Structures are given as C-alpha cells and as structure tokens.
C-alpha cells in the first residue's frame, strides 16, 4: 500500500483555500488540479509499504505525535516548485512555524527508526494545488508568475492531529484515505 503522513485541514479552511485558487484554475494552464477534498500538507512520503507493516507504521505516527502540543499554523502565499517559470507543482504555502518543524522532524525520526530513508531535501510545507502536465511546453506557463502574484489568501488553523494516509493512484488521479489519526496534546 502507498502511504504518507499528512496534516489535514478543517473543511472550511480547505474550501476557502481551494476557492482562493480559482483564478489559477480558470487560467487555461496545462495543469492537473487537485480537488478540494484532497488538499493536504504532507509531512513524510513513505511510498509502497507491505500491508503487514501497517500497525508498526501507525505506532510510529503515534509516537511522533505523543508529547507534541496542538499549535497554530498560518496558511498563506502562493508559489511553484521549482519556480514559476518552470513549474512542476503549484502550491499554497504554510508558515514553517517551529512547532511544525518539530513535528515533521519527529515524524522523520520515527520513520527512520523503522527503516524508511531520511528525506534529504529541505522541508517546504505546502498544499499542492496542481501538478503541471509532463508534456507542457514552458511557453504555456508564461502567465503563471503574474497569476500567482495576484492571488491572495491568508488564514490560520490549529493543527490538532497528524494522519496516516493511503494513496491509491489511478488514471483519474490519486484517491486518499485516512487510515489513522494521531491526536496531538491539547494546550
Ligand atoms: P499523483 O502522483 O497521481 O500526481 P499525488 O502526488 O497526489 O498524485 P502520491 O504520489 O501518492 O499522490 O503522493 C501522496 C503525497 O505525498 C502527495 O502530497 C505528494 O506530493 C507526496 N509525495 C509523493 N511523492 C513524494 C516524494 N518522492 N517525496 C516527497 N513527497 C512526495
Ligand atoms: Mg505523486
């Protein structure tokens, strides 16, 4: 099973965030847009994992969450990886507050303890809004930078849990299911 660890957002924030990106989706860009229900913040991508290891992975998520207190997370700012001119992923950002860094680090550490390779790339917390199609010509993204700069969104949520997610890929796109929810300590 294909697994990852993520922070999911409350319905209202997810909808507001998705709505704020409407001008992007109207921009006739060669992009596969993420549906409103699928918006999430990935902390750790685990990839293909034997179903028999699910309990072990779940315990590692619990261990990472335990002793971590709920915290406020600002969600704001639009951008693209690696950059707007040669975008592959278009995103809405999250402030990398220390509590989030710590939580991500704890997840990374616990997963490393049970054999998952450590992420070497720096952590850039974001909600993926869309993925540029592989066959897109760079010229087709000419207006993206301007569009991104004109967008506005600023909100804050309280992160109360971290989730183990399953991803099922199909031609229609990825379908995510929450397998386990590890609650953070209340303040
Ligand atoms: P698709 O692959 O069909 O575009 P997806 O990327 O949403 O869909 P997955 O590939 O299963 O679905 O990824 C699940 C989550 O993990 C997503 O948030 C994705 O951005 C992230 N992710 C996927 N691969 C990696 C990776 N190699 N490193 C870090 N994060 C990853
Ligand atoms: Mg993917």
Half-sphere exposure of 174 (CA within 13 A, CB side): 20
Q: Tokens 């335990």 appear where? A: 66
Give the Å distance between the CA of 31 and the centre of ligand 2: 14
The pLDDT of residue 171 is 87
The pLDDT of residue 93 is 98
Residue 169 near ligand 1, beta carbon < 6 Å: yes
pTM given for the model: 0.96
Give the Å distance between the CA of 114 and the centre of ligand 2: 23
The pLDDT of residue 78 is 98
Give the Å distance between the CA of 186 and the centre of ligand 2: 32
Q: For residues 162 and 64, is the Cβ–Cβ distance under 8 A?
A: yes
Query: Is residue 40 annotated as a catalytic residue, yes or no?
Result: yes
Which residues span the domain enclosing 43? 2-183
At 49-94, the pLDDT tens digits run 999 999 999 999 999 999 899 999 999 999 999 999 999 999 999 9
Q: What is the mean pLDDT of the chain?
A: 96
Q: Which residues contact 86 (CB under 8 A, 6 or more apart)?
A: 138, 141
Among candidate residues 93, 80, 73, 87, the one with its CA nearest the CA of residue 184: 73
pLDDT under 70: residue ranges of the chain: none
The pLDDT of residue 173 is 86
CATH number of the domain encompassing residue 134: 3.90.1140.10
Total structural domains in the chain?
1
**Catalytic residue, candidates 105, 124, 126, 180:** 126
Sign, CA dihedral 153-81-2-112, equals negative
For residue 173, which atom of ligand 1 is closest to its CA? 3
The pLDDT of residue 27 is 87
């Amino acid at each position: 099973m294909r697994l990852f660890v993520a922070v999911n957002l409350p319905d209202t924030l997810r909808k507001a965030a998705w709505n704020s990106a409407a001008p992007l989706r109207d921009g006739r860009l060669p992009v596969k847009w993420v549906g409103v229900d699928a918006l999430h913040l990935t902390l750790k991508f685990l990839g293909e994992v034997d179903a028999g290891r699910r309990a072990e992975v779940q315990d590692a998520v619990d261990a990472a969450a335990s002793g971590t207190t709920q915290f406020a997370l600002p969600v704001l700012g639009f951008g693209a990886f690696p950059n707007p001119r040669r975008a592959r992923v278009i995103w809405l950002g999250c402030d990398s507050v220390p509590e989030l860094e710590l939580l991500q680090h704890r997840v990374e550490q616990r997963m490393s303890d049970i054999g998952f390779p450590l992420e070497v790339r720096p952590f850039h917390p974001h909600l993926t809004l869309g993925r540029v199609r592989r066959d897109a010509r760079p010229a087709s993204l000419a207006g993206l930078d301007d569009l991104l700069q004109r967008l506005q969104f600023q909100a804050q949520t309280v992160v109360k849990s971290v989730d183990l997610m399953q991803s099922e890929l199909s031609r229609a796109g990825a379908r995510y299911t929450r397998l386990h929810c590890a609650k953070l300590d209340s303040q």
